[in-house]
Amino acid sequence: MRRVLVTAAASGIGRSVAEAFVEAGDRVHVCDLDEAELEKLEGVGTTVADVADPDAVDRLFTEAAETLGGLDVLVNNAGISGPTAPVEAIEPGDWRRTIDINLNGQFYCVRRAVPLLKAAGGGSIVNISSTAGLFGYPLRSPYAASKWGVIGLTKTLAMELGTFGIRVNAICPGSVAGERIERIIRDEAASRGVSPDDVRTSLLKQVSMRTFVDAADIVGMILFLCSDQGAKISGQALAIDGHTESLTQDNRSVS
Ligand code: NAD
């Protein structure tokens, strides 16, 4: 039985991750901004918290440590798409909010998780990055910057925490099938002045396997990393994406 904290788990990938740990017999605590969705969850401890607010994260960890009785696994899942626009059209407030949630939020959670993981004698941190943490991503500069930052944080923490038996890895999902990618496709179509179908086709063309990813693919990797099979894996940025070849504009142009 592991004691697991998953951020932003009222819906999307985080929810699938939390459900999978519960199914595996683990004790799980989650947070989210969305109180109404959070209330629908069963079998997990919940805290309404914005990961970009360090005080809210402090409250989250106080409550989680109490309901879980310690911590073995942290899944830093919270992340937003941020604005889709040329860099000169991006508002500083939108830039800051993207970095605050996607990168600073992971730091706020890690700094509270590490003492608990050390007290447990070791554990696993999984930070959710993105394919956008491995490639430049035109029109999504705050998102790409935040997700590259997540990988820098991950590799540094793996070095700091290795001798404590704490392994730290980043997962880099490609586009996950579902409502979020449909929203991104709509935004990008509007920003580029093309149709959503054109954007969908060009996104698929970036991937060798010509596929989007399922949340289950991400969940499987997270469970593996947090299991005994993953005991010697640390400091990695693992792409789960059907092999992205590039996110460049050329590749995206629709012929
Ligand atoms: P999502 O948009 O479906 O949101 C999931 C949950 O996050 C929601 O319940 C929302 O209320 C919560 N949330 C948003 N901001 C929050 C905050 N500041 N504090 C607490 N909760 C917050 O997201 P998703 O598609 O499940 O993505 C999860 C992670 O995976 C993110 O880090 C995202 O960047 C990454 N990712 C997603 C995709 C994809 O295609 N979906 C691809 C690559 C990486």
Q: Kindly report, residue by residue over 54-66, the tens digit of the pLDDT.
A: 999 999 999 999 9
Are residues 34 and 79 in contact, defined by beta-carbon separation less than 8 angstroms? no
Q: Is 247 in the pocket of ligand 1 (CB under 6 A)?
A: no
Which residue, by CA, sits nearest to atom 17 of ligand 1? 50
Q: Using the mean position of ligand 1's atoms as its centre, give its distance from the Cα of residue 113 in Å.
A: 20
What are the pLDDT digits (tens) for 104-122?
999 999 999 999 999 999 9
- A 10 A CB-CB count for 56 gives 17
Which residue, by CA, sits nearest to atom 8 of ligand 1? 11
pLDDT in the model for residue 181: 86
Q: What atom of ligand 1 comes closest to residue 132's alpha carbon?
A: 43
Q: Using the mean position of ligand 1's atoms as its centre, give its distance from the Cα of residue 15 in Å.
A: 10
pLDDT in the model for residue 179: 83
Tell me how far the alpha carbon of residue 173 is from its chain's centroid.
8
User: Does residue 251 register a pLDDT over 50?
Assistant: no
Q: Is 32 in the pocket of ligand 1 (CB under 6 A)?
A: yes
pLDDT in the model for residue 36: 97
Pocket test for ligand 1, best of 31, 41, 180 (most atoms within 8 A of CB): 180
Q: Is 125 in the pocket of ligand 1 (CB under 6 A)?
A: no
Q: Using the mean position of ligand 1's atoms as its centre, give its distance from the Cα of residue 54 in Å.
A: 18
Q: Is 109 in the pocket of ligand 1 (CB under 6 A)?
A: no
Angle of helix 141-161 versus helix 105-119 axis, rounded to 10: 20
What are the pLDDT digits (tens) for 126-163?
999 999 999 999 999 999 999 999 999 999 999 999 99
pTM of the model: 0.94
Give the active site residues. 143
Residue 59: which H helix or E strand, with range?
helix 54-68
Q: Is 34 in the pocket of ligand 1 (CB under 6 A)?
A: yes
Looking at residue 219, its amino acid is V
Provide mean pLDDT across the span 208-231: 96
Q: Is 128 in the pocket of ligand 1 (CB under 6 A)?
A: yes
User: Does residue 253 register a pLDDT over 60?
Assistant: no
pLDDT in the model for residue 180: 81
Q: Using the mean position of ligand 1's atoms as its centre, give its distance from the Cα of residue 80 in Å.
A: 5
What are the pLDDT digits (tens) for 174-187?
999 988 889 889 98
What are the pLDDT digits (tens) for 73-97?
999 999 999 999 999 999 999 999 9
DSSP alpha helix (H) spans, the chain: 12-23, 35-39, 54-68, 92-99, 105-119, 141-161, 179-192, 196-205, 215-225, 249-252
User: Does residue 48 register a pLDDT over 90?
Assistant: yes
Angle of helix 54-68 versus helix 105-119 axis, rounded to 10: 30
User: Does residue 50 register a pLDDT over 90?
Assistant: yes
Q: Tell me what the pLDDT averaged over the chain comes to.
A: 94
Which domains, and CATH codes, for the chain? 3-176+213-240 (3.40.50.720)
With cut-offs at 50, 70 and 90, classify the pLDDT of residue 249. Answer: low
Which residue, by CA, sits nearest to atom 39 of ligand 1? 176
Three-state secondary-structure class, residue 157: helix
